[in-house]
Amino acid sequence: IRPDLVAPGYTRSANSDGQIDGVRDSCATANMEGTSMATPVVAGAAALARQYFMEGFYPSGERTEGAGFEPSASLLRAALVAGAAAMRGYSHTNGQPLQPPPSQFQGWGRLDLSRSLPLKGDKLGWRLQVVDRAVFQDQLTTHTYQVQAVGDGPLIITLAYMDWPNAPGRVPGCINNLDLKVTGPEGPAGIEPGTSYGNNKPEGDDRNTLERVYISTPEAGTYTITVTPTYLFLEARPQSYALTVLGGVQGTIKSPYNPAYTAPPPDPSTPETPTAPPPSLPLPPPSLPPPPSPEVPQQPDPPQPLPPPPPPPPAGGSRWRGHAARCLARTAAAASAQQQGTRNRQCAAVPPGAPTAQ
């Protein structure tokens, strides 16, 4: 559905005639019309809506210190569309009465900030509740919210999200499809009896990234709002969205995606039950020392063999060299035969230079 909104497209504005001589040929005004004038009107309204949230006018309707937050583009879109008013009259193209919104002639209606952004003490007495930057990671879950209608004033629920661009000419045009459903105290609720989905559809709308349920005379009670990720393209996840609830409502939407909601602290009168630690496994028995091995009688070390005698001296040499060789041989033999001590002493007693027996 296009357009989303309509706005005044005829403007009389102060304007120069484009000459630099300082002389103005007219009353310094210019008349302009068309979408070139309607577009800046809506852009200025979106800037005011952003300031409304940034300066903490939500949810009380008056500037509140510390209540401000930065709204998403989807929230600004949902807020402006939520308060859009249906236009009456006839189409200038075919002379037929205007179809009720949403339609190709007026979208979801004419821009009206006095409805979209409630202020404290205004004559409408409407209130606003929002959900912003809620996220779907997959198609396995749905998001459900509850709101209290007071039965005085309409109940307007609007869903908005930003979709990925699709191939030209593809039908339906949405890559990701989120659907809005509202259930009243006695069952489904909508503009027409039995209709519970956005944009007056008997089932989900797979062509638009804006969906609105408008209940002009709601019954007082609890209304359940369900947002369903009917289809999420695998490469186009996650998908975020914004939701607004406008009109005769009270209370606060209990959701972490609502900047006005604060989760209550735990009740101090209900002490927390301590969690018992899991039973510990029995410890294994202490290990015993290994039994002593039987004693083995020690065997005496076997006698070490005597070192081999030194090699004989080279042939030739003096008599002294032959005498020394014979003394060494006798000394080695004496180590294995204790009875030859006398001969050893006789050998050791030979004075140097004495002649040896042949």
93-97, 194-198, 209-213: range with highest mean pLDDT: 209-213
State the Cα–Cα distance between residues 223 and 54, nearest whole angstrom: 28
Confidence of residue 13 (pLDDT cuts 50, 70, 90): confident
CATH number, residue 99: 2.60.120.380
7-21, 128-142, 210-224, 296-310: range with highest mean pLDDT: 128-142
With 0-12 / 13-18 / 19 or more C-beta atoms within 10 angstroms meaning exposed / middle / buried, residue 140 is: exposed
> By 3-state DSSP, what share of the chain in percent is helix, strand and coil, each rounded to 5?
20, 20, 60
Residue 152 lies in a domain: yes
Residue 299 lies in a domain: no
More confident site: 303 or 55 = 55
Number of domains within the chain: 1
Residue 338 lies in a domain: no
Single-letter amino acid, residue 195: T
Q: Say if residue 34's pLDDT is above 60.
A: yes
Which distant-in-sequence residues (6+ apart) come within 8 Å of 144 by Cβ? 224, 225, 226, 227
With 0-12 / 13-18 / 19 or more C-beta atoms within 10 angstroms meaning exposed / middle / buried, residue 28 is: exposed
Confidence of residue 201 (pLDDT cuts 50, 70, 90): confident
**Per-residue pLDDT tens for 111-124?**
999 999 999 999 99
Confidence of residue 358 (pLDDT cuts 50, 70, 90): very low
Q: Say if residue 324's pLDDT is above 60.
A: no
Residue 57 lies in a domain: yes
Residue 60 lies in a domain: yes
Q: Residue 46: which domain range? A: 10-14+29-165+173-250
Residue 343 lies in a domain: no
Is-contact 53 68, C-beta < 8 A?
A: yes
pLDDT score of 226: 94
Confidence of residue 205 (pLDDT cuts 50, 70, 90): confident
Least-confidence region, from 101-110, 214-223, 299-308, 346-355:
346-355
Residue 315 lies in a domain: no
Residue 284 lies in a domain: no
State the Cα–Cα distance between residues 303 and 65, nearest whole angstrom: 105
